[in-house]
Chain A
Amino acid sequence: MNSSPQASPSGSDRGAASDIAEHARPTTAESIISLRGVRKTYFRGKEPIHVLQDLDLEVPVGGYEALMGPSGSGKSTLLNLIAGLDRPSAGSLLVAGADLGAMSDSQLARWRANTIGFIFQAYNLMPVLTAVENVELPLLLTKLSASERKRRAQTALRIVGLEDRMHHYPRQLSGGQEQRVAIARAIVNDPQVLVADEPTGDLDRQSADEILTLLERMNRELHKTIIMVTHDPAAAERAHITRRLNKGQLI
């Protein structure tokens, strides 16, 4: 099957980019994530739940930030907004040069494929695919040849130290190894931003430390900007900055 090419900018994407330029406001050159007055309100029946309220956030290029806060404080909601998975009720988001509010759903999907790497608490690998195939999955959206896709997937696995587990299925790997495969999948497209929602939440101390070291390397050596939601103070300590979310606001 010919999966459609998404990664390479098509004509319409360039159109979107010029739209973005119009909507852009002056930010400091180093800011890769810039949130202004972001609000997110859910409705449970008729009753509004104000999860995020007038939230501002600036993250510099190459930043590594931890996001902490009590359960239900809106950490995942904020992360999903930054990653372009969800839309705010109000406010604007400028991420990696794109005005997310001005983009259609499919433009957002393409943008995510190019710009964001996802790391989840539950790893979320495809159980029917081997490690290398899981890493290759995002590349199916590119125009790369099969051999080039495979080469890149193998490279990414080598970076996370799992080249010897290439053809193992997720069920044949430990939790820490699964999360390393997930990290390889997140970086295989060379995105600018990694979002990690409690990446060590399901891991023992030692595996968690390995993952944190790996994330540190992604930040330091590959210059990925990382936003990491965590409950673990040891994890937060590895980040450059720890932000706390409480009652819908950053403190």
Chain B
Amino acid sequence: MRLSSLSVRNVWRNRLRALLTVLGIAVAIVAFVLLRTVLSAWTVGAEASAKDRLGTRNKVTFVVPLPKRYIETIRQVPGVVDASYASWFGGKDPRHENEFFASMAVETKTLFSVFDELVVPPADRERWLNNRKGALVGDVLAKKLGWKVGDTVTLQGSIYPGDWQFQIEGIYSSTRKVVDRSSFFFHWDYLNDSLPEGSPQRDRIGWVTTRIRDPLQAGAISQAIDRAFDEQEIQTLTMSERAMNLSFLGMVSAVLKAIDLVSLVILFIMMLILGNTIAMSTRERTREFGVMRAIGFLPHHIALAVLIEAIVIGGLGGGLGLVLSYPLVERGMGRFIEENMGSFFPYFRISEGTAVAALVLALLLGLSAGLLPAYRAARLNVIDSLRRAG
């Protein structure tokens, strides 16, 4: 027998109380893991973006497009392998009003060389390239909305008003996990040619994605591209795909910070609750501490016994919380989120860092909850605690 086994057994002394406390911590840990995963999923797309790709957009704002002729200039910049442009369409399937997915008009002939992670059966690919009204959709989106190759789909445009008809010609998947498999790609030419002569939206492109030969040259090439348009009316801003994705994140960083704070506040509240529980259970055992002190145990032994008890509870809650988190976050919520919000969270999984942080925080939670009760138990007056009834 050891002093630590005395602590461990005291944890289970009041089964119901121990169980509820451990469950409470577990729930707080699940909440922490979930919120953390939202945070890390939000950045993982950005972090895992291709290192050999640059994005070029309007220097002032995302919303105002670039002249189409810019693409030719960009292709001439040394170090550029290929470039592809696209415009945000922002369409909706009226039969699925509440489903959000990314719809984009893309330059078809360069799409696959710039986005080499896209996987499409060769026959589908041929048909899509040859059909001006053809659409290429992600497998996750197709499955969710029940689309098959050959279907005709009508999207309602918001930026480009009206009903737009497409034939689904191909379904893509991806070689990399972090790619959004819920996007809707169609021919930029179809969009452009449908716009009335003289429309300000004609011959405009939303952004250009560039593949470069050497990722180490990303900075220099970005500068070279932007310099090429220095004297133009519309200037550009070029950055790595990663930086571009992160700049999207910048817009929601306040929300992310709030989520971050909430996950810590939950743990703090749980610490106070655990502290109260430990204080209560040690107070009930005042007399036992008095006996131990009489026998010759020192104040630090008593403090240690209480701390071990608190840390064991914290660890059990943390472990249970983590065990519950995987099915809840990954299988339940994660799948739903990947399917429905794939363009924001292409990869919604618990990271190793989150799991370790959850466990460490649970242990720290136990430790800090135990500090005050441990201090008080250690300072008990021996005679007084022995006189205490019960």
Contact = CB atoms under 8 A, between A and B. Distances in A.
A127 interface: yes
From B10, B293, B296, name the one whose CB has the most chain A CB atoms within 10 angstroms.
B296
A224 B222 CA distance: 91
Interface centre among A6, A126, A133, A146, by most B CB within 10 Å? A126
Contacts of A17: none
A126 B288 CA distance: 7
Contacts of A114: 296
A198 B238 CA distance: 88
Given A3-B301, A138-B296, A127 B13 contact: yes
A106 B292 CA distance: 13
Nearest to A185: B295
B6 A126 contact: yes
Q: Give the size category of A's interface with B.
A: 20 to 34
Contacts of B62: none
A118 interface: yes
A141 interface: yes
Contacts of B291: 118, 120, 124, 126
Contacts of A1: 2-4, 304, 308
Contacts, number: 71
Interface string B261-294: 0000000000000000000000000011001111
B386 interface: yes
A4 B300 CA distance: 10
Interface in A67-103: 80, 83, 85-86
Given A1-B2, A3-B3, A126-B288, A86 B383 contact: yes
Nearest to B11: A128
B298 interface: yes
Interface string A129-142: 10001001110110
A140 B386 contact: no
Nearest to B293: A109
Contacts of B298: 4, 6, 106, 109
Contacts of B288: 124, 126
Contacts of A6: 296, 298
Interface of B: 1-4, 6, 9-10, 13, 287-288, 291-298, 301, 304, 308, 382-383, 386
Given A120-B386, A128-B10, A146-B2, 13 more contacts: A1-B2, A6-B298, A85-B383, A86-B382, A86-B383, A114-B296, A118-B294, A133-B1, A136-B1, A137-B6, A140-B2, A141-B295, A141-B297
9 contacts: A4-B301, A6-B296, A6-B298, A85-B382, A86-B382, A109-B293, A128-B6, A138-B296, A140-B3
